[in-house]
Structure formats: C-alpha cells, structure tokens
Chains A and B, each alone.
Chain A
Amino acid sequence: MNAKRSIYGICLVFALVIMVFTTAWAAEPAKKATKTGVLKIGASLPLSGPMSPWGIPEAEVTSIYADLLNKDGGLTVGDTTYKIEFIVSDDKASPDGIKASADRLINTEKVNAMVGGWMPPIATIIGRDATTANIPVLHMVREAKGIEVVSPKYPVMFDLGWAQIEGIKVYIPKLKAAALPNVKTYALISKDDTLGRTMLEQIKGLSQEWQTKYGLEMVYNDMFPITAQDMTPWLSKIAALPKKADLIFACSATVPNLAMIAKQSYEMGLKVPVVTVPNLTDVDEFIKIAGYEGAQYVYTSGCAPWDSPKTSPKFKEMANRIRKAWKDKHGKDLTFGDSFAWCCNHLAAYVSAVKLANSVKTEDIVRALESKPIEHFYGTSVASGDKTYGIKRMLTYDASIAKITGREQKPVVTFPTTVP
C-alpha cells in the first residue's frame, strides 16, 4: 500500500516535473517575442472646413479601433509585437492641403501604411507620394474611371471598393424583396460629383438586368449640382412624371441633401421611400433637419458590420466594442456605421494582410493582398484581376438595410428595421 502510494507519488512528481519543463520549453519562444515595435498608420482626413462633419467621426472611430487592437496586445509579427499608432492629418479638403498632409504623413511621420477613402483626383495626389516612398495604400476608389488611371502607375495602392457602389448591386433588389414588394418604378437623382456620376452609370448599367429580373423600371434620372440646397426643381419634375415613381434613389447624397430630398418630397406630397447610403451618425439631429414626417420615408444602407451577415463573429464582436466605446464617449449610439466603411475597415484589412504576410515589409504585404483572401469588417475580399501588382478590385460589400424608426412618436409608416 505504502509502496503503491509512493509510486503514485513518484509518478506525480515526475509528471509535475515534465509539465513544468514542457511549459518552460513551450514558453521559451513566447519569451523571445518580447521585442516591441510601433506600426504607424496614417490617414489624411478633413478635420477642419466644411467636410469636417464627415472627417471627424471617421478619425474617431478608427482611433478607437486602433486603441482596442493595442489593448488586446497589439499585432504579433514573427518575434515582434507591434503597437498600432493611428495618425490623422488634416487635409483641409483643398488640393494643396492634401499634398501637404500626405507629405507630412509619409515623409515626416514616416508611416508604414496609409488608409483612407478618397476620390480619384485626391487618390492620385496621395498615390504619387506613396509610390515614391514605397508605402502600401489601402483605400476605396470608384470602379469606373479612376482605377485604370491609378493602378498601373501606383502599384502600392490597393482598393477595397466602396460600400456605396458595391452595395447598389444588392441593395434595391433586396429592399424590394424584403420591405417594399410593391415598388415597380424608381427615380434616380444624383449629385454631380465623382461618386454620384459613377453610381448613376452603375445603376444605368444594371437597369436592364433589374427590369427583367425584378420588374423594376427606371423612370427618371438627373443630376443636381454640388452647391444645390433646394431640391424642389428636381423633385417637382419627379412629381410631374407621367409614370409615378415608387421610390427615389439618391446617389451620393450627403446628409443635408438627403434631408432636403426627404423633407421636400414629403411636403410636395410625393410620399415615396427615399433610399440612399449616407453617413448618418446622428439620427436625432437628422430628424430635426428633415422633419419627423419626412424622415419616416428614409431608408439607408447602414453598412454597419454588426448587422451584416457576412461579418465574421470575431469582427462582429470588435465592431460592437467600437460601438460601445463610441457610446460611452458621446452618450449616443453610432447608429449608422458608415464611418466604418472607410479608414477603419481599411485598417482592419491592413492588419489582416500583415498577419497573413507575417511581415511588415511592403513587398510581403502587397503579395499577401494580391494572393490571399483578406478578412475585414465586411467579410472577405480577394484581389481580382490580371495585373501583377495592386488593384483590380476586390470584395463585394454586403449592404444591410436600416430604417429610421419612430422616436418620440409612432412612425407614420412601419417597415421592418433591418432586413436579413
């Protein structure tokens, strides 16, 4: 009995010793990874001037994301743990400001990568400097014209597409299937800027397919100037159409544009759903601008990762943490997470690419971005196309649909809030 017990004891001691050794042996490489580094990620955003209502939330959401990544222990590549430092520079929304800001990030701050969402003229300004410095750039670009101009010359630029453009393909059919089965005709009204023109082209291209597939007919399309405040001239044309439009799709509409379209179409008695994809961060204020009744007709693709079925659970959790951090800071919800679609999502894609490449060298990251599926807040994207370097294009963003539902009062018309 005693002998048996002592054998057990010896076995136990041996087991313990082996366990300790194994742990020590296993812990050895982990101990090596105490080297730390900093990965600087730059973004050039309008923090002052008329565009700042769009730039500031974006900068904030992305820096919250970077903080959370650091809190989780940073990014381990090989034997080095990197902290992510997100640097925003004010581009003043003017061409010379953009040049100066890109220069500041690339040459003074010496960033490792740049993320952002710019239109082609601006992207080319940044792309030129980034190419010289051999820094990977992840940004969204419209598909139509910009990409051919940018891609062959600036091989470090990667394009993750844009929720607005990618979303269109699935957006209206989805909306029709889920929320508005009676919609047969739609009117397009687009802002006369790069994005608006591209979206208009895209939808015109899709219109034949939509007509045969879903029975959707385009009855009107026109553009309004960037400076337009009042939408009455265009809306009154829509109201006077021989074939009534069941839905107004506003391309590239900013928050004030959208509010005006919603408010004035309601006032003119059109009372049709107004659909768009803007960056609505403050719904209460939006209701004040558009009026409560007008706002009831607004549908927007929130593009919020916590709603998107394509988002992986890991990213969904992170998105919710960002949402909570925003709420703690501002006391209100980051209701429509379109801020995610730009810098923040491109930062996520960069982090994934670094993990896949297991290196922070530009060449390795570029190779990873080209060859492997990259995971981010909106699912996965693969670089498609036959060019050796860089962009052709990538993922399909999955657009979720959200609706401004009743606050204070009962909604005038009730639609489901989110569509799976």
Chain B
Amino acid sequence: MHIARINSAGKVLLAIVLLGLLAFALGFLPNRWQQICIMWAIWSTVGMSWLVILRVGEFSVGQAGFLCIGGYSAAVLMLKFNCPFWLALIVSAATCAFVALVVGVIILRLKGLYFLVISLVFAEIVRLTIAASDYLGASEGLFGIPIPNNLWFIKFSTKQGWLYLFIFILALAGFTFRRMEKSRIGRIYSYIGASPDLAQSFGIYYMKYRVQAFVISAFFTGLVGAAMGVYLGAVGPEGYTFYYSLIAQIVAILGGVGSIVLGPLLGSALYTVFDEYLVYVPGARSLIMGGLLLTVIFFLPEGLVSVRRKFLNKFPRGFPRKFI
C-alpha cells in the first residue's frame, strides 16, 4: 500500500501511533539513557516555550522564574495541602499562567534590550522573594515531596513512569505550539515579531497577543517546572538561577530558532547528551560548552535544523530528496 494514498487524518494518526510507540520504546532504554531522555524532554519543553516569546519578538531570560514558581507551587500544594499530584500539576501551571498575565501586562510594555533585562530582574525577584519567605522554607527549600501514585501501568517510583510523563508534556507542548504556528495566531505572532508598529497599523492590537504568548509560554514552563520539582523530590531557591534561563536559550539556539518544535528537540538532544558526558571532564566543562555554542553560532547560524538542508544542497538536483 502506498503511503500517499492514505488521507491526511490517517497520516496524522499513523504519525501519532508511530511516535507513541517510539516513546514507549524509550522507556526500555538503559537507566542512564532514560535519565538523559528525561532531561531532554524537560529542556525541549522549556526551549519551545522560550521560542514562543521569541516569536512575538522578545528575548526572555526569565524562564527560570517560571520553572521556580511551578516547582514551588507543586511542592507547597503536595506538602502543605496534601493535594493529589495531577491536580497540583495543573494548578501549578495555572498559577504560572496567572502570574505571567499579571506581570506580563506590566513588563511587556518594554521591548528589546529592556524586556531582556526586566525578565532577568523578574526571575531574580521571584528567587529572592522565595528565599526570604519562611513559609516556603527560606534558603533551605522544601523537601520530601511524596512520590505520586501509580497511573495504570505507569509507575512513578521508577524512572520509566517519569519519562512517559515528561514525554507526554513535551508532546502536549509540541502539538499546541505546532498548531499555534500553523494557525492564524502564528501568523499574527510573526507579524508582531517583525514589527509591532506595522502590526498595529494593520489593526492588530499587539499588546493582547504579546501577553497571550507570554502566558502560554509560562503555562508550559510552569507545567514542566512542577513535574520536575516532584520528580526531584525537592525544591530550593539556589537551584533556579540564571543558568537555567541560559539553558532555555541555548537549546533553542543550538537547534535553530526557525522551527518551533524540531529546533528545541534537536538542540536539547545535543545539549543533554553533551551535558551528561562532560561529567568525565569536569575541569573543561564550561570551556567545551562555550566552544560548542560559538561553533554553532558561527558555522550553523540557523541551528541544527539547517543541517539537513545544507546536506541536501550537496546532492545533484535529480536526487530523490524525499528519502532524506
């Protein structure tokens, strides 16, 4: 049977089934690779969320703030209110979205470098406020978050269960962002990203969409942050520093900012594998990581996504490109 004959809904179904099987297979990798895959899924989701803000033309360095809010809300809900895991996950993400709405209305009036800086200030304020609050454990953080109950065959006492959860979140985020980009909203975002004033002159009230993008981004960052907090079993203010915000940009830029789903997926794969194997050279760790960043920026400015195209151009025209 020829694949082209299947209608588009069937194709989507086939893709979902194949990807689902692939994800299921990931759960049977050796333990170390499961850990790598979990980190890959986490940073991919964060990188994708970061890209949504970039789509409306703003460069955020405040993703750590939302990871922090997500992780802490989940920890507080589960530890102090005995909230079930799933509810805590959703409420934490909603909290992040709400904070993003309130903060976004104010700080998204700034653009360019000013937004960059104020997002950094925002993340630091979140961290410092938490470090100052005795209810939130102050500088010690909150720990001993219980392990969630099993869900059907998914056991959260094993790595496998968490891997499936993070991949589910990743798929959810990827699907949402993909649909957004292909729809009218995606086009509006790209107009605003290119020039807000021009978009305004076309009758697009850009502030609304900027805040919308910020809130959506915060929702998914918060969701993954909450899951990560429960997965680690502990949250502490010293964890959510500038470095976490940096990683969000690094994975997106490594993969290529042109593609909202594929870019972070590839970039995060490269980053996590590198990160995991650099433990064998702890002294040269930051040097190698910095070198990698500079190499990608100068030799692959459009990220890893562009490798395929560059590779294709080397072949003669008649070459059946479909198969690569």
Q: Indicate with 1 or 0, residue by residue over B141-163, a CB within 8 angstroms of chain A CB atoms.
A: 11110010000000001110000
Q: With contacts A48-B285, A149-B143, A197-B140 known, is A100 near B276, CB below 8 A?
A: yes
Known A-B contacts A52-B282, A96-B232, A100-B276; the reply to A192 vs B144 at CB < 8 A is: no
Q: Which of B31, B138, B236 sits near A107, CB closer than 8 Å?
A: B31
Q: Does A125 contact B (CB under 8 A)?
A: yes
Query: Is residue B306 within 8 Å, beta carbon to beta carbon, of the partner chain?
Result: no
CA distance A28 to B254 in the complex (A): 65
List residues of chain A with CB within 8 A of the CB of B142.
121
A131 to B61: give the CA distance in the assembly, Å. Answer: 37
| Interface residues as binary, A152-167 with B (CB distance below 8 Å gives 1, 0 otherwise) | 0100000000000000
Q: Are B234 and A192 in contact (CB under 8 A)?
A: no
Q: Which residues of A contact B285 (CB under 8 A)?
A: 48, 90
Query: Is B32 touching A103 in the complex (CB atoms < 8 A)?
Result: yes
Asked if A132 is at the interface (CB within 8 A of a chain B CB), the reply is: yes
Q: A96-B232, A124-B144 are in contact. Are A48 and B286 (CB under 8 A)?
A: yes
**Complex Cα spacing A101 to B233, Å:** 15
Say yes or no for B41: interface residue by CB 8 A criterion: no
Q: Who on chain A is nearest to B239 by CB?
A: A95
Contacts known (A192-B139, A197-B140); A104 close to B279, Cβ less than 8 A: yes
Least Cβ–Cβ distance between A110 and chain B, in angstroms: 10
Query: Which residues does chain A contribute within 8 Å of B238, judged by CB atoms?
Result: 226
Complex contacts, B35 vs chain A, CB 8 Å:
99-100, 103-104
Complex Cα spacing A47 to B231, Å: 24
Give A42-91 interface residues, CB cut-off 8 Å to B: 47-48, 52, 89-90
Kindly state whether residue A194 has any CB partner on chain B within 8 Å. Answer: yes
Q: Is A94 engaged at the interface, CB distance under 8 Å to the other chain?
A: yes
**Interchain CB contact under 8 A, A94 and B140:** no
Inter-chain CA distance A201–B264, complex, in Å, is 47
Tell me the total A-B contact number using a CB cutoff of 8 A. Answer: 86
Q: Please give the distance in Å from B236's CB to the nearest CB on chain A.
A: 5
Residue of A nearest to B238 (CB): A226
| Complexed CA–CA distance, A153 and B143 (Å) | 12
B236→A121 contact, CB < 8 A: yes
Contacts of A146 in B (CB 8 A): 143
Partner of A99, one of B30, B144, B232: B232
Task: Name the contact of A95 in the complex, choosing from B131, B157, B159, B232 (C-beta under 8 A).
Answer: B232
Q: Which residues of B contact A23 (CB under 8 A)?
A: none
Given A48-B286, A94-B243, A124 contacting B143 (CB threshold 8 A):
yes
Chain B residue at minimum C-beta to C-beta distance from A45 = B282
What is the bound-complex CA distance between A132 and B239, given in angstroms?
24
- Nearest-neighbour CB distance to chain B for A420, whole angstroms, equals 37
Q: Could you tell me if B283 and A94 are in contact, using CB atoms closer than 8 angstroms?
A: no
A103 to B232, CA, bound (A): 11
Number of interface residues of B (CB under 8 A): 34
Q: Is the CB of B279 within 8 A of A101?
A: yes
- Report chain B residues within 8 Å CB of A90: 279, 282, 285
Cα separation A280 to B239 with both chains bound (whole Å) = 26
Report A-chain residues with C-beta under 8 Å of the C-beta of B94.
none
B253 near A: Cβ within 8 Å? Answer: no
**Contact yes or no, B32 A107, CB < 8 A:** yes
If A100-B39, A104-B32, A192-B139 touch, whether A122 touches B144 (CB-CB below 8 Å) is no
Q: Is B48 an interface residue (CB 8 A)?
A: no
Does A193 reach chain B (CB closer than 8 Å)?
yes
8 Å CB interface, B117-133 against A: 131
Q: How far is the CA of A92 from the CA of B244 in the complex (A)?
A: 12
List residues 96-151 of chain A with CB under 8 A from any CB of chain B.
96, 98-101, 103-104, 107-108, 119-122, 124-125, 128, 132, 145-146, 149-150
Q: How far is the CA of A48 from the CA of B231 in the complex (A)?
A: 24
Instruction: List CB contacts (< 8 Å) of B222-255 with chain A.
Output: 228, 231-236, 238-239, 243
Q: Which residues of A contact B31 (CB under 8 A)?
A: 103, 107-108
Are the C-beta atoms of A121 and B143 separated by less than 8 Å?
yes
Q: How far is the CA of A52 from the CA of B279 in the complex (A)?
A: 13
Contacts A90-B282, A192-B139, A197-B139 hold; do A122 and B32 have CB atoms under 8 A apart? no
Chain B residues whose CB sits within 8 angstroms of the CB of A92 once the complex forms? 279
* Cα–Cα, bound, A96→B239 (Å): 8
CA distance A137 to B251 in the complex (A): 35
The interface residues of chain A lying within 8 Å CB-to-CB of B234 are 95, 121-122, 124-125
* A:280-327 near B, CB below 8 Å: none
> What separation, in Å, do the CA atoms of A150 and B143 have in the docked complex?
9
Chain A residues with Cβ under 8 A from B143's Cβ? Answer: 120-121, 124, 146, 149
Inter-subunit contact B282/A194 (CB<8 Å): no
Contact A193 B232 (CB under 8 A): no
Are A153 and B282 closer than 8 Å at their CB atoms?
no
Across-interface contacts of A100 in B (CB, < 8 A): 35, 39, 276
Least CB distance from B278 to A in Å reads 8
Query: How many angstroms from the CA of A122 to the CA of B233 in the assembled complex?
Result: 9
* Cβ–Cβ < 8 Å partners of B131 in chain A: 192, 225
**Residues of the A chain whose Cβ atoms lie less than 8 Å from the Cβ of B231:** 99
Kindly state the separation between the CA atoms of A95 and B139 in the bound complex, as whole angstroms: 14
Taking a contact as CB atoms under 8 Å apart, the answer to whether A120 and B140 are in contact is: yes
Nearest B-chain residue to A150, judged by Cβ: B144
Given known contacts A89-B279, A100-B39, A104-B279, is B141 in contact with A121 (CB within 8 Å)? yes
Assembly CA distance A150 to B131 (angstroms)? 22
Residues on B with beta carbons closer than 8 Å to the beta carbon of A94: 239, 243
Task: Tell me how far the C-beta of A109 lies from the nearest C-beta in chain B, rounded to whole angstroms.
Answer: 10
Q: Please, how many angstroms separate the alpha-carbon atoms of A98 and B279 in the complex?
A: 12
Residues of A within 8 A of B286 (CB): 48
CB contact under 8 A between A149 and B144, given known A100-B276, A108-B31, A121-B236: yes
Name 22 A/B residue pairs within 8 A (Cβ), A-sorted. Answer: A47-B279, A90-B285, A96-B42, A96-B232, A100-B276, A103-B31, A103-B35, A107-B32, A120-B143, A121-B234, A121-B236, A122-B234, A124-B143, A125-B232, A128-B233, A132-B158, A145-B140, A192-B131, A193-B140, A194-B139, A197-B138, A226-B238
- Interface residue ranges, B against A (CB under 8 Å): 30-32, 35, 39, 42, 131, 138-144, 147, 157-159, 228, 231-236, 238-239, 243, 276, 279, 282-283, 285-286
Q: Which 5 pairs between the two chains have the least Cβ-Cβ distance? A: A47-B282, A107-B31, A121-B234, A48-B282, A95-B239
Task: Given contact pairs A95-B239, A124-B144, enumerate 13 new A-B contacts (beta carbons under 8 Å).
Answer: A48-B285, A48-B286, A95-B232, A96-B228, A99-B35, A100-B276, A108-B30, A124-B143, A125-B232, A145-B140, A150-B144, A194-B139, A197-B140
